[in-house]
Amino acid sequence: MKKILAIMLVLSMALGLAACGGQKAPEKTKLTLWCIATESDANRPAYEQAIKAYQEKHPDIEIEWSAFENESYKPKLKAAMSDPDSLPDIFFTWSGAFLGDFAAADAALCLDEYYKPYASQLPEVMLQNSTYDGKHYAVPLTMNIVTLFANMNLLGQVGWDHVPETYEDLTACCDALVAAGIIPFGCAGKETWCVTEYLEPIIEKTIGYEQMNEIFAGRATWNEKGIEDSVAVFQEMINKGYFDPAGAGLGNDEVKAKFISGGTAFYQNGSWNCGEVNDAGDYFQVALFPVMDASRATYGQVIGGPNDALAVSSHSKNKELAAQAAFELGRDICHYGYLAGSGLPAWTPDYDTKDVKPLVAAVAEMVKNSEGMVLFGDNAMSGDPANIYLDYVSKVYGGEIDGAGFVAGLAKDLQ
Amino acid sequence: MSKHDTRANAVRNTGKTAQVIIYIGLVLWMFINLFPVYWMFTFSLKNNEEIFGKNVVGLPQHWLWSNYTSAMNTGKMWRYFLNSTIVAVATILITLAVALMATFALTRMIWKQRKTMNKFFMLGLTIPIHASVVPVYVTLSRLNMLNTYWALIIPYAAFSLSMAILVCTGFMNEIPRELDESACIDGCNIWGIFFKIIVPLMKPAVATVGIYTFLQCWNELMFANIFISKNDLKTLPVGVQGLSGQYTTNWGPIGAALVMATFPTLFVYIFLSRKIQESFIAGAIKG
Amino acid sequence: MKKVYSNKLHLIIFLLPALLLFCGVLIAPIGASFYYSLFDWSGFGAQKTFLGLSNYKELFTSDSINFMKALGNSLLLAALSVFLQLPLALGLALTLGKKIKGERAFLSVYFMPVLISTVVIGQLWLKIYNPDYGILNVFLRSIGLENLTRIWLGKKETALGAAFVPILWQYVGYHMLLLYAGVKSIPAELREAAMLDGASDGKVNRYIVLPYIKPILRISVIFAVTGSLKSFDLIYVLTNGGPLHATEVPSTLMISMLFLRNRYGMGSTIAVMLIVLCFAFALLISAIFREEG
């Protein structure tokens, strides 16, 4: 035991020392970057290409980057905020309230003065989710919306050759699917954000995007008949057996895998899945959730927006360089990510887009023609309210409360 | 056949049936405990389709050894493994040294607050590791120790300390005090007693403390994720976790990485199990 | 001798490293946690509001936090651990302690789950419980008990039990090895003397073995209870506190307060309560064992 320990120690120390030596390269300015593009993330190649391109253009600057798993990245970043000096120069962030908290705590740098040179490529409207008190705090990468993926093979079995575009058609289609023993929808109950991907479009298509934005921002009350009705519609769909009951205890990976392998006919989730669904077969189509109340909403209204973004630490030693790098990297990550199908561009493409995957192109078209946008609820609200909101959504999915309970509870807890 | 004989036979027979039942139970429990190892190994050789439903428990239809190459190529698995080893070995050594010294003071030396101090150290068994993340982070950051091995070694050693002292106390109380006395009469000072008498007799404690400390730090994720940001210093659990992404996840290589993270430990354990068990017995905690 | 062992300078030298490490990493953060538990603070930024003890009040009264439920769950786990897991571990230890054939092999295999990381154990059990293709439901269907199949981790009624099984299972080996070591350390003469007096196996266990290993049993019980109160990893992987908070335990609540809900003060309050509870239980268990003896 002792010998083995001793050998292990000597070996490991030697290797450790060896790793420390040989680092005497010529002095370069070093910029650190944290992101969540881990080795198997769909965005990984986009980051790699973008960083390579940046290094070639700026040989005197070294980007030292590191990727962390999505869920554990949040505590990591929040712990780092407790001593802002330990933040990296550039860090990945979600827009909306997540970044808003950091902006309010002065940990993220205001990017207004660095934005100008890029204004022609990056429309200002794309910055709105990372703008607080009229100041811009992040560089958006990709944008995503909630889309309804459909397996046309399964729909074909019950006589549908297109994705239903009205609610009546959708129910008729679902009834036919259920009758044929096919499960219409898959939804991961273990991850509540997946439930919001179903509930939020129903709400939006009932009360319209303007009212929904007001409510998410806390300027209008949750106590609204339209939301109550939306919840009722959602729960009716669940009760009619449109949703896979197994989904209640599953994570999103399992639910998505089930959809792709033909286990469910529909899967409503973020458009970042386009690339993966597109590559799984040519019989998948993408659409939006139908309109519920035509007097208040239109088909082209979507849930989503630019969400993934890069922010710069206000404690960075090279603020200007870091800000410029954030813009240049953001532009290129967006470029390569779009071509790979892992998201839609927040930056205006100035390159050949004919190789974009068909499903991605279809969603890009939807975004271009969008008639209004609402950011994902759990991103629009800050930490505590967002979790209270998710809590109520999971209660709706679990059948604990009905529409009245949902609006009354949120009106009470979130005002 | 006398009456006495039949009774003895009956006893022997029931004894045998009982034995058989006990064995069946033991073997069954053995399979239940071996299953995860089998499952993890086969999982590491399958593709997503088999993992998610098509073939969860069976042998892989195609043995995808390529999962291992892609795990090796994408993540720096060897580097992570090395880092974990460095951290674990250093943590075990530091924990042992510090715990032996403290236990010596707590069991041998004469002072008033001995009992209270012992209880104070036992407080450590009750503290949830997650509660101290942020304060420890800020301290490490101020001391410029983030992104070094020390950022993990020191907290891990501290969290292993209570258990180590508890175990060492059991061992050290077993060492007869006459040994100290005679060493003292032979002219040994306190250092002599500690290094020449006590420490050599504490050998069995090394395995027990080592195993506990190892368990504490080898799979730890929270500290490792938050205190280390440099790719070259990441440990295995963080590295394995890094294989799963926000948008896409390919599970086969993750399985391969899990096998690479776990099997060496299992082999070392099997290889040393006799020694470990013996030292556990020698040091059965005497409260 | 006495003089050698009474030197205050030597005492300090021997104790100082441990004290520094212990206070710096464990005790100081408790102090910090207690301090933060008096504030409304997001965990970053300068804005802090002093609240006094109202975080503690909210913790015990708020329906949306529902700490009592989480605490109840972890106490249930502690009870199961003491009354199911430990007896099983003890039974194994006693059986293996009798020089049974294959003793070493059994012992080694039983300890293996302890060595495997929680992430692996968690993923394995997720597959076992999967409603569609999970081994459990497939098995029930194959023996014609279709009506017993459940969405184990997705329904409030079954999720808690389903999440507890792996936790209890994983650490049977840990307690077994502790207790086995105790059983083996019993002097052979003691056991033989009892056997010569005609005592049965059960009687030997009851009157010789158990009293002898009582100090180890006490440690095992303390570990089982404090471990249950602090349990986090497997719950996090299996259910993350859901569905509808049915499997919430104090640690999952604490993590979500500290790092997701930006309520560092409330998270610290839960941390303080956990430490106090664990310590109280440790003292209580020690007292019970002393009473018995």
Mutate to test the interface with A, among C125, C244, C248 (most CBs of A within 10 A): C244
CB contacts of A81 in chain C (<8 Å) are 43-45
Whether C180 shows a pLDDT value over 60: the answer reads: yes
Per-residue pLDDT band for A17 (boundaries 50, 70, 90) equals very low
Greatest Cα pair distance, chain B, in angstroms, is 87
Q: Is the pLDDT of residue A102 over 50?
A: yes
Token pair 């019989």 in the structure block, residue: A283
Would strands A142-151 and A264-270 be described as parallel, antiparallel, or unpaired? antiparallel
Task: Indicate the burial class of C49 (C-beta count within 10 angstroms; 0-12, 13-18, 19 or more).
Answer: exposed
Residue A289 has a pLDDT of 96
Q: Which two tokens stand for residue A317?
A: 């030693």
Instruction: Answer with the residue of higher pLDDT: C208 or A405.
Output: A405
Q: For B211-229, what is each residue's pLDDT tens digit?
A: 889 888 888 888 999 999 9
- A41 and B93 in contact by Cβ < 8 A? no
Q: Whole-angstrom Cα distance, residue B6 to residue B131?
A: 65
Across the interface, of A15, A43, A44, the residue whose CB is closest to B82 is A15
> How crowded is residue C6: how many other Cβ atoms within 10 Å of its Cβ?
12
Peptide bond into B253 cis (omega under 30): no
The closest alpha carbon to C127, from B35, A360, B109, belongs to: B35
Q: Over the stretch B143-182, which tens digit does the pLDDT of each residue have?
A: 999 999 999 999 999 999 998 998 898 888 888 888 988 8
Interface of A with C in 370-389 (CB under 8 A): 382-384, 386-388
Residue A368, C-beta contacts closer than 8 angstroms, at least 6 positions apart = none
Taking an 8 Å cut-off on Cβ atoms, the answer to whether B53 and A15 are in contact is: no
Q: How far apart are the first and last CA of chain C?
A: 33
**Could you say which residues from 58 to 77 on chain A have a Cβ atom under 8 Å away from some Cβ of chain B?**
64, 66-70, 72, 75-76
The pLDDT of residue B248 is above 70: no
* Range B67-286 classified under CATH 1.10.3720.10: yes
Q: For residue A149, what are the β-bridge partners?
A: A267, A286
- Residue A400 carries which DSSP code? S
Side-chain-side CA neighbours of A74 within 13 Å: the count stands at 16
The whole-number pLDDT of residue C106 equals 92
Q: What is the pLDDT of residue A199?
A: 97
Name the residue ranges covered by the structural domains of chain B: 3-43, 67-286
Q: Where are the domains of chain C?
A: 61-292
The pLDDT of C159-179, averaged and rounded, is: 93
Q: How confident is the model at residue B2 (pLDDT cuts 50, 70, 90)?
A: very low
Give chain A's mean pLDDT. Answer: 90
Q: Does C156 touch chain A (CB under 8 A)?
A: yes
Mean pLDDT of C182-191: 84
pTM for this model (two decimals): 0.88
- Which residues of chain C make contact with B110, given a CB cutoff of 8 A? 2, 5-6
Nearest to B281 among C127, C184, C282 (CB): C184
Distance CA A52, CA A65 (A): 12
Which of A97-111, C120-134, C153-167 has the lowest average pLDDT?
Answer: C120-134
The chain-wide mean pLDDT, for chain C, equals 89
Does A142 reach chain B within 8 Å, measured CB to CB?
no
More confident residue, A276 or A112: A112
Among C64, C151, C255, whose Cβ lies nearest the Cβ of A249?
A: C151
| Gap from C7 CA to chain A (nearest CA, Å) | 32
Q: How far is A72 from chain B (nearest CA, A)?
A: 7
Higher pLDDT, C222 or A329: A329
Judged against a pLDDT cut of 90, whether residue C240 lies above it is answered with no
Number of H helices, E strands in chain B: 14, 0
- Structural element, H or E, at residue A136: strand A135-136
User: pLDDT for C25-55, tens place per residue?
Assistant: 999 999 999 999 999 998 887 788 999 999 9
d(CA A199, CA A138): 28
Interface contact flag, C42 A101, Cβ < 8 Å:
yes
Q: Which of C123, C235, C253 to mutate to test the interface with B (most CBs of B within 10 A)?
A: C123
Provide, as residue numbers in chain A, all residues whose Cβ is less than 8 Å from the Cβ of C242: 189-190, 192, 394
B227/B134 Cα distance (integer angstroms): 10
The backbone torsions φ and ψ at residue A68, rounded to the nearest 5 degrees and listed phi first, read: -130, 155
Dihedral over alpha carbons B18, B23, B24, B30 (to 10 degrees): 150
Domain A144-304+375-414: CATH architecture, name and number where available: 3-Layer(aba) Sandwich (3.40)
Task: Please give the pLDDT value at position B9.
Answer: 56
Using CA coordinates, name the residue in chain C closest to A83. C44
| Domain C61-292 of CATH type 2.50.20.10 | no
Q: Residue A65: which residues within 8 A CB-CB, separation 6 or more? A: A32, A33, A34, A35, A47, A51
pLDDT at residue C157 is higher than 80:
yes
Q: What is the ipTM of this complex?
A: 0.84
For C70, other C-beta atoms within 10 Å of its C-beta total: 21
Q: What is the pLDDT of residue A22?
A: 45
Q: Tell how strand A135-136 and strand A264-270 pair up.
A: unpaired
Q: pLDDT value at position B249?
A: 63
Asked whether A33 and B237 are in contact (CB, 8 A), the reply is no
**How close does chain C come to A27, measured CA to CA in Å?**
33
Q: Which of A396, A163, A341 is nearest to A265 (CA)?
A: A163
For residue B82, the model assigns a pLDDT of 92
- Which of the four pLDDT bands, split at 50, 70 and 90, describes residue A20? very low
CATH architecture for residues A29-143+306-363: 3-Layer(aba) Sandwich (3.40)
Give yes or no for A39 touching B (CB within 8 A). Answer: yes
A225-269 per-position pLDDT tens digit? 999 999 999 999 999 999 999 998 888 888 998 999 899 999 999
pLDDT at residue A1, as a whole number: 47
| SS3 category, A395 | helix
End-to-end Cα spacing for chain B: 53
Asked if residue C160 has pLDDT above 90, the reply is yes
Beta-carbon separation of A68 and B244 below 8 A? no
> What single-letter amino acid sits at A379?
N
pLDDT tops 90 at residue B14: no
Q: For A357-396, how does the pLDDT look when each residue is reduced to its tens digit (9 = 90+)?
A: 999 999 999 998 889 999 999 888 887 899 899 999 999 9
Summarised one tens digit per residue, pLDDT across range B30-53 is: 999 998 889 889 988 988 778 776
For residues B188-197, average pLDDT: 90
A146, A197 contact by CB (below 8 A): yes
Q: Tell me the β-bridge partners of A304.
A: A145
Residue B101 distance to chain C (closest CA, Å): 5
With a cut of 70, say whether residue A298 has pLDDT above it.
Answer: yes
pLDDT at A65 over 90: yes
Asked whether residue B68 carries a pLDDT value surpassing 90, the answer given is: no
Residue type, C126: L
Question: What is the model's pLDDT at position A16?
Answer: 47
Q: Which residues lie below 8 Å from residue A263, measured CB to CB, with a gap of 6+? A: A183, A186, A244, B53, C132
Single-letter amino acid code for the residue at C160: L
Residue B6 has pLDDT above 70, yes or no: no
| Domain map (residue ranges) of chain A | 29-143+306-363, 144-304+375-414
> What is the reported pLDDT for A18?
45
User: For B115, which DSSP code?
Assistant: H
* pLDDT value of position B255: 84
Q: Which of B141, B247, B275 sits opposite A83 (nearest CB)?
A: B141
Gap between the terminal Cα atoms of chain A: 63
Q: For residue B140, give Cα distances in angstroms to A266, B109, B155, B221, C112.
A: 49, 33, 10, 17, 34
In angstroms, the CA C151 to CA C148 distance is 10
Quick check: B246 and A43 CB within 8 A?
yes
